[in-house]
Structure 1
Amino acid sequence: MQFCDECGSMMHTEGDTWVCRDCENEAQRDAHAEAAMTTQDGQRDDGTPAVADATRDATETMQEPCPAGDCDSDRAYYEMLPKPGGSYEVRLFTCVECGHKWRES
């Protein structure tokens, strides 16, 4: 898949040239670069990602009231995980008393 350097749209091929459908920008095709592109058939499926567990390897707790309606605990284990895409982190909590899980909002 090739994207236009001018407008960012997806390009299509016409012979030895990539052509943008939006702005009609053209670029020469590069057989070596195209061979390195991964197709969906070439990708592997690693299955469903593991669910984070803030109690795993956690020894520290912090004061954080449990949002579960029938729990009066004010302590929770916590874990910081990077958000997909790496833009920032999210804090995951697990109640020390009832095991309810939630994330910082």
Structure 2
Amino acid sequence: MEFCDECGSMMKTDDGVWVCDNCGYTKPRDDAKEAAMTTTQGQEETEIIDVSDAENRGLPTTEVHCSECGNDEAYWYMQQIRSADESETRFFVCTECEHRWREDDH
């Protein structure tokens, strides 16, 4: 994605140049710079987080009831599991039995 140097609007490509639809500014495309740009392709994969050593990783704890063992404390972390325009999901890991659940599971 490229932004206009004149007005800041998002630019589009047209026959080897970047063109601003808002103000008409144009500039040549730079293949090396474009190759380094981050794209959204392939970002559907979710990262797997190993929480087996949650205490050693410094995860925060909160007071929440574990349905498996009845403990009232769990580690928690946030993770983006849906598209970027949706809020993150909070996950819990019981400090006693290591049972795992999402905030919306209860």
Calculate the TM-score normalised by the size of structure 1: 0.48
Query: Greater strand percent: which structure?
Result: 1
Bigger radius of gyration among the two? 1
